Structure 1
């Protein structure tokens, strides 16, 4: 492969596939790093689109280093707890440094954890802690912060109760929230990975910035029936509930119920708000609009 490819780890995941396709659409050669013995039906679409499929053990730093030689950027879309985000992603980082890769994009894709309080969100703490290793590595890196995934509002959404036509929230219904579709996140990530110029350590994007009330009003317009925000308590009471729920376990789960509540608190408090946004950095990206997205994913309510 020519010395101008981008390597994508986690390429068979939802975001990883979208990033791979977005890179190929930009004319960038891609090595899709996948687990050994990955079923062909999970990689056929990537291979057909032009990606080079590389089954590899991500614990083998020496083998990884060999595969990454000549890469201009490594994109991690790995997801998990510390065993994945620190150990496995750490192996990917070490191999990138050893292979002298110019740029590394870690799998952050989250709220702005540079502004949230340590201890307020278990998963964001994992990202924050990995950045200590990034800073010591010496490699140029860029984290892409996209708020919540807009896709969480699609279909039978955990954020929208179509049966009662309500949107649960804590705090204030006019707090502005940031959401980015996975397609937009992938398009922007591909643009950063392909960028021949240096990029900042943090880039912040949002397809949509809207309050719970804004979302309810948009749903009302789309469905022709009233959708309303449903107050679930204050930020403080939500934090107390999270502490109580954690006593009953879930620490080894990627997304226990209390973890979702931590994200809600970080967003509804405004602590994880993305400011300023870097949406204009790559003018060729057309961002999803809230109403268009919700119409596309309309359900029978």
Structure 2
């Protein structure tokens, strides 16, 4: 029986994979939190991988505190770059299949057309820079890896935009949301299914793939959809990013082009609203 190691098991994606795993009992699943697979301690990480001896690694663990990464660069790069490099090397040396999760934040946001896998990367914050270093190291150390870039991830698990909006719309009369950052949300349950479909597919074609739900919206429009589905009596206002300064800059446009993953793995990707309804 093949052993699948999922890192970041307590995160949104790890939790969704855990929920799906009972449907795939042909695998032995190991859901490792940060104590079982310690991404910020490389010596310990090496030992842990050698003890677990997985056949497949789904690397969902990451340092994801975008604003905090500006003041915790070293930690962000250890987890998002050096640990990924080590995992990729382990995978290469032990003939392990690796799917590594990356982000739309590897882009600078100046595009006006959906970004495909060949688009020029140019991160504008430390988090994005650490994730780009990680995906580059991953494919350099183990060219047989699959890297999936995703965006605006939400789930019924963990902390995310949808849950924050639900809370604020319950508590407040007015909520303001930035209306000049455009992309598409990703329901973590959809991405988890896509990862398993890739594992189950007859072909394994390494490289970078994009995955998010279909649709092109701003965070403000996303908030309006949440308001509508939750039937909240709250005014939602759109504001420019300049009215809501954050330590880390965000890309203004990071819509991902999904043609490649749909073609290669014959994936049917739901529209963001369909998936948001499922979460509700």
TM-score, scaled to structure 2: 0.69
User: Aligned pair 1:15/2:23, yes or no?
Assistant: no
1:84 corresponding residue in structure 2? 79
Q: What is the distance in 2 between the residues matched to 1:28 and 1:5?
A: 9
TM-superposed CA distance for 1:77, in Å, is 1.3
TM-superposed CA distance for 1:16, in Å, is 1.6
SS in structure 1 at match of 2:49 = helix
1:104-183 pair list within 5 angstroms: 104-108=98-102, 110-111=103-104, 113=106, 118-151=122-155, 152-157=160-165, 163-171=172-180, 176-183=182-189
Q: In terms of Rg, which structure is larger? A: 1
1:9–1:34 contact (8 Å) kept in structure 2 = yes
User: Aligned pair 1:64/2:59, yes or no?
Assistant: no
TM-superposed CA distance for 1:178, in Å, is 0.8
1:196 corresponding residue in structure 2? 202
Q: In structure 1, which of residues 249, 264, 275 is the aligned counterpart of residue 257 of structure 2?
A: 275
Q: What is the distance in 2 between the residues matched to 1:258 and 1:276?
A: 30
User: Aligned pair 1:293/2:276, yes or no?
Assistant: yes
2:3–2:29 contact (8 Å) kept in structure 1 = yes
Q: What is the distance in 2 between the residues matched to 1:143 and 1:36?
A: 21
Would the alpha carbon gap of residues 112 and 195 (structure 1) be closer, same or farther in structure 2, given more than 3 Å must change? farther
What runs of 5+ residues in structure 2 fail to find an aligned partner? 64-75, 110-120
TM-superposed CA distance for 1:177, in Å, is 2.0
1:176–1:209 contact (8 Å) kept in structure 2 = no
Q: What is the distance in 2 between the residues matched to 1:98 and 1:219?
A: 46
Q: What is the distance in 1 between the residues matched to 2:9 and 2:262?
A: 24
1:61–1:94 contact (8 Å) kept in structure 2 = no
2:85–2:141 contact (8 Å) kept in structure 1 = no
Q: What is the distance in 1 between the residues matched to 2:189 and 2:20?
A: 9
Q: What is the distance in 1 between the residues matched to 2:91 and 2:196?
A: 18
Q: What is the distance in 1 between the residues matched to 2:278 and 2:30?
A: 33
Q: What is the distance in 1 between the residues matched to 2:224 and 2:152?
A: 19
1:201-216 pair list within 5 angstroms: 201-212=207-218, 214-215=221-222
Q: 1:18-74: CA deviations, max 9, x gaps? A: 224434424441341536976xxxxxxxxxxxxxxx9999625256246336x1x31
Would the alpha carbon gap of residues 180 and 159 (structure 1) be closer, same or farther in structure 2, given more than 3 Å must change? farther
